[in-house]
Amino acid sequence: MTDEIRTERLLLRRARHEDATAMHAIMSDPTVMRYWSSLSHTSLAETERWMASMVALDPAASDDFIVTYQGRLIGKLGTYALPEIGYLIARDQWGQGFASEALGAFIARRRTLGSTELTADVDPRNTASLRLIERHGFIETGRATGTWLIGDELCDSVYLKLTL
């Protein structure tokens, strides 16, 4: 299994400890983190701990990547725990098709590796993310209320699945 995915514009590669500072710039942005499974990061140490957990992942149980464009870290995409996908892209990179390009390449990789499905848990208010994964063939399989407590806010979930 290769440790990187190349697309026309992007390089998806495995996380490194030294990625923490660049990732912190993304994860400390409340707008980017609005629909993530945690609040925005308030310290670099918090992001360093998060990055250390990503670096330590067992590739047999996860398939998570840092997304870079022209050598700059612009986000992450992959599965922290197979088969559930997650992604974050820096706000200044939104609207350029990077998440879609990375997601398409990741789906192709999982097909090649013999995966049978990918899943997603999306906040129903995150219409951009719902549109993105539906464009890539994910189908809604259910909804639930009060599934995530993020800070003091109880959030809902839309569950989606892509059969590979």
Where along the chain do its domains lie?
4-115
Give pTM, 2 decimals. Answer: 0.95
CATH topology of domain 4-115: Aminopeptidase (3.40.630)
Q: How does pLDDT run across 71-84, given as a tens digit for each residue?
A: 999 999 999 999 99
> What is the number of other CB atoms lying within 10 angstroms of the CB of residue 155?
17
For 30, the 3-state DSSP assignment is: coil
CB 71 within 8 A of CB 48: no
CB 12 within 8 A of CB 4: yes
Angle, vertex CA 159, rays to CA 131 and CA 47, nearest 5: 80
Q: How does pLDDT run across 101-155, given as a tens digit for each residue?
A: 999 999 999 999 999 999 999 999 999 999 999 999 999 999 999 999 999 999 9
> What is the number of other CB atoms lying within 10 angstroms of the CB of residue 38?
12
How far from the centroid of its chain's Cα atoms is residue 76's Cα?
A: 5
Q: CB-based contacts of 38: which residues, under 8 Å, 6+ apart?
A: 150
Question: Rounded distance, CA 87 to CA 79, Å?
Answer: 9
Question: Rounded distance, CA 73 to CA 23, Å?
Answer: 7
| Portion of the chain with pLDDT greater than 90, in percent | 95
